[in-house]
Amino acid sequence: MANEGSAKVTDDREAYVIQPLPSKGGFLCLLFYNAILHMHSDYLYTCHAWFNDYTRSFHSLEPKLEKNIDLKLRHTARVCDNISRIAKSLHLGQEELALAEVLALLHDVGRFEQLKDYGSFDDRITTDHAALGLNVLSRAGILCSLPKNERRLVRRAIWLHNKYEIPETVSPRCLLFSRMIRDADKLDILGLIVEHFETRSKNPNPALDFGLENCPGHSHEAILDILEGRMVKIATLKNLNDMRLMYLSWVFDIYFPVTLYCIEERGYLKKLMASLPQDCEIVEAVDFIMDYLNRRGRIFI
């Protein structure tokens, strides 16, 4: 049986356990524990102040750039909301919730330099925006006031937020936070992309098209990835249909039931599916995704 001070995450796929308070020397330990609690919520406040100050300098009079700076600011705010919803679904404590929000706030901080320097979100032709973000955070020293373990956790989860997969070697706690940020991020990007595809003819945004053409056809490799239950790799994208297939395939990486519920509730997959041509291979891939969702307990789209 767990110690009284411990709090186990209820999702039984997680081995993550919040460390219990020591039973002796309780008062001093409690003071220390409370200091950490307050530090996290105060630290979140400090991070917001730094983030607002840092990103203010990127606003531009150039409308296309300003539109995408604003897009990333709004994305960051929604990813904070998403991660909070995910963390609450796992019944994480206040300090873990605050740390998750710090992670969400900082996860895409590299996007601002990327946009300013390259005018693109495409990591393939610019620089990995997670690496850019970690450089920004190192220069700013904003993570220095965190305990070493927390600092390493935040840095590692930022690095992993945009990678194809999480290595098996990460610690259970890093795995938890990496999964949370990846889910929170993908949930918002799916909404953003669905809106983009619905409005791109009237309101084009080349930064979201990654230089791909909206032409007929699709890549066979994208279909194969889906039929193997894998995310479509960005390197295989040849046109916007491939990109639509890639975003659909993100469901294979979604981990938490609450994220899947939100994706479904907002109709993102249905809208993406409707925007694809009804070609035999695509129908087969879409059927595979539907079967996968059914196996995960999804009851409607």
For Fe ion, the binding residues (CB under 5 A) are: 108, 162
- If the CB atoms of residues 162 and 219 are measured against Fe ion, the closer one turns out to be 162
CA distance 66 to 59: 6
Q: How far is the CB of 185 from Fe ion (least distance, A)?
A: 6
255 phi/psi in degrees, rounded to 5:
-105, -45
- If the CB atoms of residues 69 and 293 are measured against Fe ion, the closer one turns out to be 69
- If the CB atoms of residues 1 and 125 are measured against Fe ion, the closer one turns out to be 125
Q: How far is the CB of 89 from Fe ion (least distance, A)?
A: 22
Give the pair of three-digit tokens for residue 230.
């894998």
Give the pair of three-digit tokens for residue 108.
């895409």
* Cα distances (angstroms) measured from residue 7 to each of 98, 113, 184: 16, 39, 23
CA distance 243 to 233: 10
Q: How far is the CB of 129 from Fe ion (least distance, A)?
A: 6
- If the CB atoms of residues 76 and 249 are measured against Fe ion, the closer one turns out to be 76
- If the CB atoms of residues 6 and 138 are measured against Fe ion, the closer one turns out to be 138
Residue nearest Fe ion, Cβ-based? 108
Q: How far is the CB of 222 from Fe ion (least distance, A)?
A: 21
* Cα distances (angstroms) measured from residue 296 to each of 44, 267, 282: 34, 17, 21
- 244-250 — which CB contacts under 8 Å span 24+ positions? 244/197, 244/272, 244/275, 244/276, 245/218, 245/276, 245/282, 245/285, 246/222, 247/189, 247/190, 247/193, 247/272, 248/272, 248/273, 248/285, 248/286, 248/289, 249/222, 249/225, 249/289, 250/186, 250/190
Q: How far is the CB of 61 from Fe ion (least distance, A)?
A: 26
- If the CB atoms of residues 107 and 271 are measured against Fe ion, the closer one turns out to be 107
Q: How far is the CB of 160 from Fe ion (least distance, A)?
A: 11
